Amino acid sequence: MTVLLLKLLLTPLLIGLVTLAGRRWGPVVNGLLVGMPLTSGPISFILAKQYGLQFATKAASGNLAGQVAMCVFCLTYGLLAQKRKWIVCAASAIGAYLISTVGLNSIPWRLPWAFLVLIGAIVAVSWILPKQAYARSSSAPPAWDLPARIVAATAMVFIISESANALGPQLSGLISTFPVFAVIFASFTQFQQGADATLPLLRSLVLGSASFALFFLAVGVCLLPLGIAATYAIAVGAALTASGFSYAITKDRRQTVVSP
């Protein structure tokens, strides 16, 4: 019953809060928050409860490697955004993500290497993506926007957590980073506000992946010796610290804007 309640309540709560925060403070803050482990974090917690500490510890390496594929998604979308329509950008970026995931799954990842590769990907993609300022916008999201995001996130948590035993820990970790919200946020932003707002969102999402990296490093290192409660408290603290640092270094490029 506890696991079921987590699936039904935790992810919708997180996604709802982040969506509302993004609407209030704009695409840069939105990207930083979406870069955090909003779906993969709850999935990791559920895996630890449902399949044991060893399973969730092994899955942490897959989580880190999977976020590299997320960086590839952001890079692909960002490079196409100024020349192509949102649907072409989204389809191409999803394709790049899937190809990357297949390649990453062929490697037997260990925690230290997965962490270092992800940090390298964050630095490289942040440097390559254009540094684009964005203009103020007053476009409002449709009424179905927030419920759709919540339903999609909750469905993903159910699907991955219920199929994890068959997929194994590494692949479970990899696919938990599927860019459901990156697709939604990037596509809506480009459609409603254009590439100038989409690029800051994507760059911030990549920078926000630093919080993801520290979260799963903590899970991989601490879960077996410290147990569930202490580990996820440490992981959340590490993720929030990294997100705060990323927020500070993007301060000079922020402007208030309503994000879809």
Per-residue pLDDT, 233? 95
| Per-residue pLDDT tens digits for 173-204 | 777 677 777 887 788 778 877 888 888 889 88
Q: Where do the structural domains in the chain lie, given as residue ranges? A: 2-253
Encode 142-173: b = buried (16+ Cβ within 10 Å), e = exposed: eeeebeebbebbbebbbebbeebeebebbbbb
CA distance 89 to 1: 41
- Match 């696919």 to its residue by tokens: 175
CA distance 90 to 139: 21
Per-residue pLDDT, 9? 72
| Per-residue pLDDT tens digits for 31-50 | 677 777 877 888 888 889 88
Global pTM value:
0.78
- 8 A C-beta contact, residue 112 and residue 244: no
- 8 A C-beta contact, residue 76 and residue 93: yes
The string of DSSP codes covering 106-155 is TS---HHHHHHHHHHHHHHHHHHS---------PPPPTTHHHHHHHHHHH
Tokens of 39: 């779906």
Q: What is the 3-state secondary structure (H, E, C) of 75-109?
A: HHHHHHHCCCCHHHHHHHHHHHHHHHHHHHHCCCC
Q: How far is CA 78 from the centre of its chain?
A: 16
Say which range, 9-13, 132-136, 146-150, 164-168, has the weakest mean pLDDT.
132-136
Please indicate whether residue 182 or residue 97 has the higher confidence score (pLDDT): 97
CA distance 256 to 204: 15
- 8 A C-beta contact, residue 7 and residue 160: no
CA distance 4 to 178: 22
